[in-house]
Every structure is written in C-alpha cells, then in structure tokens.
C-alpha cells in the first residue's frame, strides 16, 4: 500500500501517528504545502503571517526535510493550495491512502473537506495536537464543560495520557522525481525580519531545536522545578519554558512534554512546578476542545458568550497600540518586543489584550489578528481563546480587567523590562518609570525624557478608563 502523509502544524517525526501507521501499511511519501492564503493581507491591512513567524516555519520545514533525508526519503515541498496539489500527487504517485493530523477550526477543516471530496482513496484523520486524545476524554469532545476547572478536574481524575509514539524503524519511501524547493521569505512576499539581540531567546525552528530546548530547561538548567514561581518573568531565557513556538508548529507534541515531565518527576524532582507544567498543557487542550465545540463563534465579536457589543475600530487608535506608542510604558514595551522579536510573555499578552479590549474598548479581533500575524508561537485555538477570555466574551464572561500600572509595578518593580525596550526611559527613575507623565517639567528635563516629545503622552487616562469599564458591567 502506498500512503501519502500530509504535514501541516505537525512538523516532527517523534510521536507522529500518521507517519507510524503509514510506515506499517507499506511505502510512504510526505508533503508540505506552503498555502498562499496563509500569507495574504488581512482585512485589517497586515500580512496574515509576518516574516518572523514565516522564518520560523521555513526553518522547521527545512529541518523536517533533513530528517526525512537521513531516514532515506524526502519531504515533498509545494507552493499552492493543498486541495489542488494533493490530488495531483495522489494521481502522480498512485497513492492509495492519505493520512494526516486533523484540525478543529473552519479554515483548516474546509481544506480537509475539499480534499476529501476530490479524491477516491482511503483517508484517515488522526489526532495528535492534543495532550489528551479525544477517545480518552471522560466526556464527548463536543460536550466539554464550559468552565475550565470542571474540565481540568475530570481530566486529572479520569483521563490517561498516551505514551508518545517512537520514530518508525526504516520506513520505506516512495521515489519522487521532483521533491521541490523550500521557498525563501521573498517567495512568500515577505522581507527579512529585523535582527534584534534584545530577544529573550534565539528561537530556531525544527524538531531537534525543540528537544534541545526541552532538555536544557528540564535536565541541564533544572529550571522546571522553578516554573511555578518564575513563569511570570519578563526578561531572560529561562523564566518560563518557551516551548510554545515548537508546540505551535508541531515540532514537539504536548504528549512528549507530558512524558518528559513525568520522567523528570521520577528521576529528578516532583513539586508544584512539575504539576503546573501539566496544568498549562491542560489549558492548551481546553482551548482546542473549546474551538472544536463552539466553531466559528470563537472568531465573532461577541465570542462564545454571543454578547452584543459596541466596540471602537479607529485605525489611528489601533496603530498606537500596535506600534507601542500608547504612552503607557508597560503596554509599549510589550508591543515593541512583539514587533521586533515575534515573542511576548504570557503576562504581557494578558495586559496588552486587556488594554486594547477593555481600556480602549476596541474590537478585540483586531488584536487577535495582529498576534496571528506577529507571534512565532501563533496557535489558532490558544490565541483566539485567550483573547476572547481577556475580552470578557470567552470562558470567563465577567467584566474583568487588569490594572496596568499595578501589574507593571508587581512584575517589573525596578522598570528593568520597560527600560530594556523603551530607551527613551533609560534615565527615568524607578518612581516614575511606569508613569512618566507624573514627572514635573524639571524632572522630565533632568531625566532626559520630555513627555510628548521624547516619549508619547498617554493616549488615555487609565483611571478614567477603569471607571468606564466598571460602568459597562
């Protein structure tokens, strides 16, 4: 039997069920398609995938091809719509089976459906993005609880986590005359991203790099034992695991991380931090199963709550938020880090989302789309789920919001992070670094930061905005 494996957000060979089953069935071929729709300009005026994420993707695909070549085969690369390319390959290579990992959101599912409707061979969809397999849930996947705590407790009590699957031994590959070339950024309509040595970590795509990072964080630096206590840090490589870019591209599976956590617990140390790593993986599963349950509601302004909202959509307001020129240092520092590096801490993401959706009362979908474009760890379910959550239209309908300056003072008490990204505030003392507008004119001159000239005036009065949020109820 000849089987074609269609790779998408699963760029690995470890714990890859379609690859394992295809190898058991007979000869295999593998394909990755650079879908041009992923690089189009959005309705908001920026690329759906920006150069930083595209660069990580290209490196991850290149690494997967290298792995296949070491195994004695190759990864077929094509540019174009998968629903057009895959039927041609099936005919050309006389394929009898098509195996792939299933997705849960509409754009991806629609492509799957178009392929299924255009070929007459056996198609098998596997589930490998989740930590808990759909068949191992204590409820039907489309009937998950609407409260995370209920989901988590049932998972922890009743669900097993399957062991990761090994790489197949000596898979037999189908000979391919034209494996294709991996595109460069310019082939995708993108320019080279900015180089910035202020990034917390040099993120390199690919499965090998993913395992290097895991081994470093768990076993070499032994930072896993500190995860619960340091994960809200803002500067430095090891304040959190930083696995998310590799998870998002499928260079590493959630099951593999869980398996390695349990190995760490057996061989090194077990504490609240090792539990918390599993806890976060359950959150990731929850957003994925929520997207599967609620469908396109996760992309609507009113979210899964189906709220009727009236939100701002002024491009000038959005641009200040996007470019990190709001005049609120903690927001601006995080947004500039994202723009320069494609990364932002979890603490930062929650604050900038709350600021856009709540303080500015802006259409949160613009922010979610900007994150989709910029984040190297963009994952459709987690991104849109978290944005909805922080915008009061997701799994927590309460009118919650962050006190931005309070958060900054708690997590960046000395202003080290803010000064790292906002050179304009280099000489501003700790007392004013998160609220430079409170300096007198003489203090501004003394500290070489004239508000409104060297650094923007705040675009809103934060205290007034909190009162407006409370009135919205």
Domains, the chain, in order of start with CATH, read 2-126 (3.40.50.620), 134-163+205-295 (1.25.40.80), 300-472 (1.10.579.10)
Nearest to 375 by CA among 343, 397, 350: 343
The annotation status of 241 as a binding-site residue, yes or no, is yes
441-461 burial, b at 16+ Cβ within 10 Å, e below that, comes to eeebeebebebeeebbebbbe
The three-state DSSP-derived secondary structure of 376-430 is CCCCHHHHHHHHHHHCCCCCCCCCCCCCHHHHHHHHCCCCHHHHHHCHHHCCCCC
Say whether 396 counts as a known binding-site residue.
no
Q: 113: pLDDT confidence band, cut at 50, 70 and 90?
A: very high
Question: Residue 238, annotated ligand binder?
Answer: no
294-310 per-position pLDDT tens digit? 999 999 999 999 999 99
SS3 451: strand
Q: What pTM does this model have?
A: 0.97
Is residue 227 marked as binding? yes
Going 439 to 440 to 441 to 446, the CA torsion angle's sign is: negative
Examine the pLDDT at 227 and tell me if it is beyond 80.
Answer: yes
Residue 253 known to bind ligand: no
pLDDT of residue 195: 83
**Edge-to-edge strands, sheet with 122-126:** 76-79, 27-34, 2-7, 97-101, 122-126
Q: 134 to each of 13, 249, 258, 285, how far by Cα in Å?
A: 21, 20, 16, 10
For the stretch 214-223, pLDDT in tens is 999 999 999 9
The pLDDT of residue 445 is 97
Q: Known binder of ligand: residue 290?
A: no
Residue 126 annotated as lining a ligand binding site? no
pLDDT band at 194 (very low <50, low <70, confident <90, very high): confident
379 assigned to a ligand binding site? yes
End-to-end CA distance of the chain: 61
């Amino acid at each position: 039997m000849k089987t074609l494996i269609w790779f998408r957000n699963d760029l690995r060979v470890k714990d890859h069920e379609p690859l394992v089953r295809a190898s058991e069935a007979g000869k295999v071929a593998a394909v990755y398609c650079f879908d041009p729709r992923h690089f189009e300009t959005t309705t908001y005026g920026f690329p759906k995938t920006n150069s930083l994420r595209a660069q990580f993707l290209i490196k991850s695909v290149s690494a997967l091809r290298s792995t296949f070549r070491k195994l004695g085969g190759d990864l077929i690369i094509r540019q174009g719509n998968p629903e057009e390319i895959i039927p041609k390959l099936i005919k050309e290579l006389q394929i009898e089976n098509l195996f792939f990992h299933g997705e849960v959101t509409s754009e991806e599912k629609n492509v799957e459906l178009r392929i299924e409707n255009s070929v007459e061979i056996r198609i098998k969809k596997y589930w490998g993005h989740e930590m808990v397999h759909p068949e191992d849930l204590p409820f039907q996947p489309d009937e998950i609880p609407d409260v995370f705590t209920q989901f988590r407790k049932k998972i922890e009590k009743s669900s097993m986590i399957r062991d990761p699957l090994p790489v197949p031994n000596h898979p037999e590959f189908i000979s391919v005359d034209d494996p294709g070339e991996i595109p460069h950024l310019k082939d995708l309509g993108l320019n080279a991203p900015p180089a910035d040595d202020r990034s917390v970590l040099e993120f390199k795509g690919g499965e090998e790099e993913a395992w290097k990072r895991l081994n470093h964080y768990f076993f070499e630096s032994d930072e896993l034992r500190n995860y619960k206590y340091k994960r809200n840090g803002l500067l430095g490589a090891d304040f959190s695991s930083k696995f998310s870019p590799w998870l998002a591209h499928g260079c590493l599976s959630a099951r593999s991380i869980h398996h390695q956590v349990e190995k760490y617990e057996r061989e090194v140390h077990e504490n609240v931090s090792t539990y918390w790593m599993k806890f976060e993986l359950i959150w990731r599963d929850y957003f994925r199963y929520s997207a599967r349950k609620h469908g396109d509601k996760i992309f609507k302004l009113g979210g899964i709550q189906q709220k009727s909202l009236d939100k701002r959509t002024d491009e000038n307001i959005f641009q200040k938020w996007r470019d990190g020129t709001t005049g609120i240092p903690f927001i601006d520092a995080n947004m500039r880090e994202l723009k320069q590096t494609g990364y932002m801490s979890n603490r930062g993401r929650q604050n900038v989302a709350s600021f856009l959706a709540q303080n500015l009362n802006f259409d949160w979908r613009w922010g979610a789309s900007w994150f989709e474009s910029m984040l190297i760890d963009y994952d459709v379910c987690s991104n849109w789920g978290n944005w909805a959550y922080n915008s009061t239209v997701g799994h927590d309908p309460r009118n919650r919001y962050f006190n931005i300056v309070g958060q900054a003072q708690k997590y960046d008490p000395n202003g080290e992070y803010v000064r790292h990204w906002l050179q304009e505030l280099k000489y501003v003392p700790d007392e004013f670094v998160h609220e430079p507008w409170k300096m007198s004119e003489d203090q501004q001159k003394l500290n070489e930061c004239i508000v409104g000239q060297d650094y923007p005036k705040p675009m809103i009065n934060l205290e007034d905005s909190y009162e407006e949020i409370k009135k919205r109820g």
